[in-house]
Amino acid sequence: MSSVSSQTQPLPSFRMTHATILRDREMQQRSVVIQDGRISKGALPEVNLSGYWILPGVIDLHGDAFERHMAPRIGVHFPVETALRATDADAAAAGVTTAWLAHGWSWEGGHRGPEAAERFLEAMSCYQSRTHTDLRVQLRCETHTVDTADRLQKAVKRHKIDYVVFNDHLDEALKLSATRSGALDVWAHKLGLQPNELMNAVEAARARSSEVPRHLCRLAERFDQLGVSYGSHDDPDGDTRERYSMIGARICEFPTSTSAAHAAHAVGDPVIMGAPNVVRGGSQSGNIAAEQLIRRGLCDALVSDYYYPALTQAAFRLVDDGIRTLPEAWAMISSNPADILGLFDRGRIEYGKRADLTVINRDTRRVEATISGGRITYLAGEAAHRFTRMGSAMPLAAE
């Protein structure tokens, strides 16, 4: 599901000068030209951006921060379009130019069930022409949703979903029901269900366990036909990762152990971890620390997970800790994600590619401008003054 705004036009052709640019995997002192929504060249009206970094736009492969805008408190719900508008703005303010919103397709029901996913996809289709950020949808498919296979395939095809990951949280639910019933009650409450309704769903899913392997293989075959990228989420060990890889689910998202990450890299499967994990110095749920995997060369890309600002913060954290150079760290939130999802028209500042750029104040490290497809989607601080001083009018992306 791609997004191109029909309400705004690309900026007039212009050139950004005197900034430090990430180009050809190194920081360079040179200008960047934008023309017809693409990176170009030529002598054009200038915006002096001395004191700034101009970096490739941030590409986020997995984020569920939109859920907070849909339900800011348990039991409090707002329209999906309201949530999409707020998410769109949040992403742009964090320097994000392309983002996948991770929505559940689960036996759990509630806001993560197939019905909720279908409503979300319909709302996204209606909002598509008004997006500022290139917003797309990733479906997080629980492995035991055997009975909804046809619905899932139809939804993927109809809405042109290009990214799906498989989850298996059934064991977690069974363990909670046996050892921590209070935690299961909270889980049910968040879904808007009664505990007995959630347990009924758990038992119904468990009853289909023998059908799951063939179910996943059939889905994988269909995804291959449709050109969908797919992977797995929360792999607990190397054996699990190997099984997913064998059916074509090559993307390893949020492995919970080093062995799972090792297994992925052994066969060339990309590993994705959460940027908040890096910023906070570890996993909130007690799983493997992303920094450990990065130090060992076992992590290829970082995603927002639940917090967009963590993307740029994580990149600078890696630089400050001497783990990666700025070009290397930024690649984990720009060019590497682009390569993983096959978006070869973005992720780098090169002639002919989309003008997707993140402009950061070097002193404050604050995102002060975001340009997506040649359109300004966020502008603040001193950068705003510099752009508005340019001779040609610089229209912002309109609501």
| 248 and 142 co-located in one domain | yes
| 152 and 254 co-located in one domain | yes
Share of the chain above pLDDT 70, in %: 94
| 288 and 352 co-located in one domain | no
8 assigned to some structural domain: no
| 49 and 158 co-located in one domain | no
3-state secondary structure 36-72: CCEEECCCCCEEECCCEEEEECEEEEEECCHHHHHCC
| 213 and 99 co-located in one domain | yes
Q: Which tokens is 297 given?
A: 């060369």
3 assigned to some structural domain: no
What was the pLDDT predicted at 19? 98
DSSP 46: E
| 357 and 222 co-located in one domain | no
| 117 and 154 co-located in one domain | yes
The boundaries of the domain holding residue 290 are: 59-340
d(CA 223, CA 230): 8
Counting the structural domains of the chain, the total is 2
241 assigned to some structural domain: yes
| 277 and 138 co-located in one domain | yes
What was the pLDDT predicted at 3? 45
* Beta-carbon contacts of residue 258 (< 8 Å; ≥ 6 apart): 288, 292, 293, 296, 298
Sign for the pseudo-dihedral over CA of 182, 280, 287, 340: positive
Whether 116 contacts 110, CB under 8 Å? yes
**Among the listed residues 350, 302, 294, the one whose alpha carbon sits nearest the alpha carbon of residue 322:** 294
Residue range 13-38: mean pLDDT, rounded: 95
| 118 and 252 co-located in one domain | yes
292 assigned to some structural domain: yes
Pairing of strands 134-142, 96-105: parallel
| 149 and 32 co-located in one domain | no
Whether 356 contacts 363, CB under 8 Å? no
7 assigned to some structural domain: no
1 assigned to some structural domain: no
Taking only the tens place, the pLDDT of each residue in 317-356 is: 999 999 999 999 999 999 999 999 999 999 999 999 999 9
What was the pLDDT predicted at 340? 98
149 assigned to some structural domain: yes
220 assigned to some structural domain: yes
CATH of the domain at 23: 2.30.40.10
d(CA 83, CA 351): 35
Q: Which tokens is 346 given?
A: 């973005």
Whether 282 contacts 289, CB under 8 Å? yes
> What is the pTM (predicted TM-score) of this model?
0.92
| 47 and 165 co-located in one domain | no
Question: How many angstroms separate the Cα of 15 from the Cα of each of 38, 39, 192, 387?
Answer: 12, 10, 51, 11
CATH of the domain at 81: 3.20.20.140
| 352 and 313 co-located in one domain | no
Taking only the tens place, the pLDDT of each residue in 288-326 is: 899 999 999 999 999 999 999 999 999 999 999 999 999
Q: Residue 61's CB: how many other CB atoms inside 10 A? A: 28
Taking only the tens place, the pLDDT of each residue in 217-229 is: 999 999 999 999 9
Greatest CA span in the chain, whole angstroms?
Answer: 69
